[in-house]
């Protein structure tokens, strides 16, 4: 009989495992810390991985509803060009697709390609 088996708990072919009373609070604390650590890792680290949020949301501009301040934040677009986009939209109507941006003076294929990832609808 070993030191962890209670002598009065020998029952046939089964033996109950006995944990001394002096170790029970320590084991309870270790289990509690393990549960807290596991749940903390789950709620702190994993939600981004579960939802596929590997990158922060991107800045997207709606061609037909944005004002000039939103357009001015796009790469290679300043205040003047942003105001020309709005004037063109107000004067000639909404942009049917991205190629409609070429009607604005100062937007060519290269600048339009740089703006494309930030424009909605694509």
Q: What is the pLDDT of residue 14?
A: 63
pLDDT tens, position by position, 48-79: 556 556 666 678 888 888 999 998 998 888 89
Residues 6 or more apart whose CB falls under 8 angstroms from that of 121 comprise 62, 63, 97
Domain 61-120 has CATH 1.10.150.320: yes
- Rounded CA gap, 111 and 122, in Å? 15
pLDDT tens, position by position, 80-111: 999 999 999 999 888 877 778 888 888 888 88
Helix (H, G, I), strand (E, B), or coil: what is residue 52?
A: coil
Q: What is the pLDDT of residue 48?
A: 58
The model's pTM is 0.53
- Rounded CA gap, 37 and 50, in Å? 18
CB 17 within 8 A of CB 5: yes
Instruction: With a cut of 70, say whether residue 24 has pLDDT above it.
Output: yes
The dihedral built from the CA positions of residue 103, 106, 111 and 117, taken in this order, carries a sign that is: negative
């Amino acid at each position: 009989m070993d030191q962890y088996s209670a002598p009065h708990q020998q029952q046939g072919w089964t033996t109950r495992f006995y944990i001394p009373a002096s170790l029970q609070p320590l084991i309870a604390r270790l289990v509690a810390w393990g549960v807290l650590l596991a749940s903390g890792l789950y709620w702190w680290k994993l939600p981004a991985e579960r939802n596929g949020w590997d990158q922060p949301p991107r800045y997207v501009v709606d061609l037909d509803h944005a004002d000039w301040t939103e357009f001015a934040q796009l790469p290679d677009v300043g205040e003047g060009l942003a105001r020309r986009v709005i004037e063109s939209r107000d004067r000639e109507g909404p942009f049917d697709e991205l190629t409609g941006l070429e009607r604005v003076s100062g937007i060519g294929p290269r600048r339009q390609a740089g703006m494309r990832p930030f424009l909605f609808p694509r």
